[in-house]
């Protein structure tokens, strides 16, 4: 069985099995989808911030090496 968890606790999902054991229908509430969207946006912002901090550190190292010359 495959489950898509989108950063939500498993208790928030309601599973209903069909006749096929590999097929699972997942019903999401509006609050579940909004929370998953918020978590995804938060992770994207954290990733963007880490990338900017990395670029800033590289730039600082380049500037310090330039001034040492």
Q: Which two tokens stand for residue 68?
A: 């040492």
Question: pTM here?
Answer: 0.53
What's the confidence (pLDDT) of residue 1? 40
Beta-bridged to residue 24, according to DSSP, are 17
Q: Are strands 24-27 and 14-17 parallel, antiparallel or unpaired?
A: antiparallel
DSSP codes of every residue in 13-67: -EEEE-SSTT-EEEEPPHHHHHHHHHHHHHHHHHHHHHHHHHHHHHHHHHHHHHH
- The model's confidence at residue 8, banded by pLDDT at 50, 70 and 90, is low
Contact (CB, 8 A) for 4 and 26:
yes
Over residues 10-43, the pLDDT tens digits come to 555 555 445 555 555 567 788 888 999 999 999 9
């Amino acid at each position: 069985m495959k489950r898509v968890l989108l950063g939500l606790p498993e208790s928030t999902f309601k599973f209903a099995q069909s006749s096929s054991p590999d097929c699972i229908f997942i019903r999401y509430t509006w609050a579940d989808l909004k929370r998953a969207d918020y978590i995804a946006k938060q992770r994207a912002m954290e990733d963007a911030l880490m990338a900017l901090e990395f670029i800033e550190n590289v730039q600082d190292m380049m500037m310090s090496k330039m001034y040492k010359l």
